[in-house]
Structure 1
Amino acid sequence: MSETDGLVSAYVSDADRDAEATVRPRRLAEFIAQDRVRDQLDLLLQGAMRRGSPPDHILLSGPPGLGKTSLANIVAAELGAGIRVTSGPAIERSGDLAAILTSLAEGDVLFIDEIHRIARPAEELLYSAMEDFRVDVVVGKGPGATAIPLDVEPFTLVGATTRSGLLTGPMRDRFGFVAHLDFYAPADLETLLHRSARILGVPITPEGAIEIAGRSRGTPRIANRLLRRVRDYAEVRADGVVDLDTARSALIVYDVDALGLDRLDRAVLTALVDSFRGGPVGLSTLAVAVGEQPDTVEEVCEPFLVRAGLLARTPRGRVATEAAWHHLGRTPPNGIFGADSPAAPDLFSLDTDQP
């Protein structure tokens, strides 16, 4: 994938980490949208602080880029507690997790990102830590092995996952509060862009924010990333103000179209429509046609294309929908393309639980 292809990827890149830390909300009141989750979380935290005890363990699920990491940091900030951050893939052995747990102070927050990828021995160790605040560390091997029980200070685990279906039942059951984050509406993204622009010192007009929000796939991370790239364009080739014309011109340069599709997304749709007459076609064949690996097409492109109603997965393979033909300006095989043809569907009225 080229450098610009990553602009509309919801997965965090190395360049995003420092930039996101600048605009990330610090308190629950600053967190935009996700009203239901925010209200529920506020009740959970307020109740725990009044009782003087750590809140129940929290599981945050949803697609990448919607604010799970921000909420984990907000939980710690609202509680006035320290936070220890790690990820599921980084915990390969139960001993690694035991070292982290025993170093926590009372009331601390442990944030495990991508918790569904934690190793099974570490997951089983986590069960007793979550329920009884105790871990058993096995010393030695074979008949002489000894389990040494270690007490853990009361803590709150915040787990984040983009694939909640991969969590085991015992793990899910140990969370006292489970929240699912949904994609943002355009109006919420506009509010977020204005806030980020103020923090970054970027002059932005309402029309400029609307244009960027409409191409952000309902994802704050993408909206902030596009804002930074449009800022670069505005400072170098315009008067420094992110207005409608500047936003449109910048996003043309960065190859992000009106629906938020990038070069690879359009390549997948174009291959389906032009080379395979709309499909069905197998994933491997489609990946070869666009010069990418099958897992890149499946994990990076397809989720948004399916959610946008431009591509369908069928038992026989991938199929371009009628909306995809219209978006590419092609004539569908079962109809005539014209001014009265239906437009692409409203991206934010679709079922966001689709893969």
Structure 2
Amino acid sequence: MDELRETAKPVDETELAIEGALRPTSLAEFVGQQKVRGQLQLLLDAARIQQRPADHILLSGPPGLGKTTLAMIVAHESNRPLRLSSGPAIQHAGDLAALLSSLTPGEVLFIDEVHRMARAAEEMLYLAMEDFRIDIMVGKGAGATSIPLDLAPFTLVGATTRSGLLPNPLRDRFGFTAHLEYYEPEELERVLKRSAAMLGVSVPAEPRAEIARRSRGTPRIANRLLRRVRDYLVVHGPSSGSGAAEADAETVDAALSLYDVDSIGLDRLDRAVLDMLVRRFRGGPVGLGTLAVAVGEEPETIESVVEPYLVRIGFMGRTPRGRIATPEAYAHLGVPRVESALRFDDL
């Protein structure tokens, strides 16, 4: 058993190093989001020339498009340390005060899901972002006093998947706001080409394009599917165990089908929602809660994980009366179209 542990240890460490290396470390290496990259480059260059911390940055957009990676790049290209936190972890003003007071001059603070911070912490952050100062209340009642505490200048990089939930006073204090868009298949192919080289797996152009088509416009999903293809090659490839085999289109299809990812990137839950909507509810309209109960998931999961992609590719419509399936959904499932209570033309 000890021998097995010794053998596995360097493999695990190598794998972790490879996973970390998949994240680009500079804007030049970052694929896609060309407009945002240009804007960030100008922001960072100006701050470097003027020898000051960069303005606060807000990155918004769906999950998996590179917000965390861009925050790491901001710190790396600014030659500053990076502190990572998240909105759900900051539930009291004291949590934020402790975090801010420990920052070193010029440090980059990344807060993921910044819209989920507690209201008291948000209000403290207003002053910190603007004047690099916070007021700490000592005592209670009539005897309470406010003690000002100066902070080291820092750069806040906030990330959010729901920018509409950010209060205006907080949003206005960011010097630069960027919205990340879904990737085109050609951009995902470039991401996959770089990742495949780092993972040590050969993926020619045709199977690489197939993985990109199933990645829902999201680099995180593309890299995840690539790793599953790599695993399939390790187990079932002609040189099983070496991971050096080449992936062809048939291998990609077999690997992704094993994990219930179909030809356009729908997974088990996506198809379950569509199938229930089309077959059980005759195309809708049906309420979100009813649909969630029917497939055995939470409404929040359906709304935040499943719906965005189905709506984006035109398979589902959201109406005041509920969710409905479009003709494209019927065609993809191979189900004859039926008349629903709401005409598709009403979308």
Q: What TM-score, normalized to structure 1?
A: 0.87
- Match of 2:277, as an amino acid? L
Write the deviation string for residues 222-264 of structure 1: whole angstroms up to 9, x where unpaired. 0000000111111111233222111011111111001100111
State the Cα deviation string for residues 12-68 of structure 1 (Å, max 9, x = none): xxxx99875230011111100100000000000001100011111100000000000
Match of 2:28, SS?
helix
Contact 2:64 2:221 in 1 (8 A): yes
| 2:125 counterpart of 1:126 | yes
In 1, Cα distance between equivalents of 2:17 and 2:198: 14
1:1-355 correspondence to structure 2 within 5 Å: 20-239=19-238, 240-333=245-338
Between the two proteins, the alignment pairs up a number of residues equal to: 319
- Cα deviation, residue 298, structure 1: 1.8
Contact 2:18 2:198 in 1 (8 A): no
Distance (whole Å) between structure 2 residues aligned to residue 198 and residue 268 of structure 1: 36
Q: Is the 2:260–2:267 contact (alpha carbons within 8 Å) kept by the matching residues of 1?
A: yes
Task: State the SS of the aligned residue for 2:286.
Answer: coil
Helix, strand or coil for the counterpart of 2:59?
strand
Q: 1:219 to 1:122 in 2, by over 3 A?
A: same
Residue identity opposite 1:93 in structure 2 = H
Q: CA deviation at 1:289?
A: 2.1
- Structure 1, gaps ≥5 residues long: 1-15, 335-355
Q: Take 2:293 and 2:94, find their aligned partners in 1: how far apart are those partners?
A: 43
CA–CA distance in 2 between the matches of 1:289 and 1:152? 52
Measure, in 1, the Cα distance between the counterparts of 2:37 and 2:165.
Answer: 25
Letter in 2 for 1:192: V
Q: How much has 1:327 moved relative to structure 2?
A: 0.3
- Percent of pairs identical after alignment? 63
Q: Distance in 2 between matches of 1:113 and 1:20?
A: 20
In structure 1, how many angstroms separate the alpha carbons of the residues matched to 2:105 and 2:319? 51
Query: How far apart in 1 are the matches of 2:142 and 2:18?
Result: 52
Does the aligned pair in 1 maintain the 2:285–2:322 contact within 8 Å?
Answer: yes
User: 1:284: how far off?
Assistant: 2.1
Retained in 1: the 8 A contact 2:60–2:163? Answer: yes
Residue 114 of structure 1 deviates from its aligned partner by 0.4
How far did residue 293 of structure 1 move?
2.3
Name which structure has the greater RCO, CA cutoff 8 Å, separation 6+: 1
Which residue in 2 is equivalent to 1:345?
Answer: none
1:341 corresponding residue in structure 2: none
C-alpha deviations, 1:91-113, integer Å up to 9, x for none?
A: 01111111111111111101111
The C-alpha deviation readout for 1:142-182, integer Å capped at 9, x for no partner, is 11212111110111110000000000000010001000000
Asked if the contact 2:86/2:114 (under 8 Å) is kept, the reply is: yes
Letter matched to residue 52 of structure 1: Q
Residue 17 and residue 290 in structure 1: after superposition, are their counterparts in 2 closer, same or farther (change >3 A)?
A: farther
Q: Relative to structure 2, which stretch is displaced further, 30-39 or 143-152?
A: 143-152
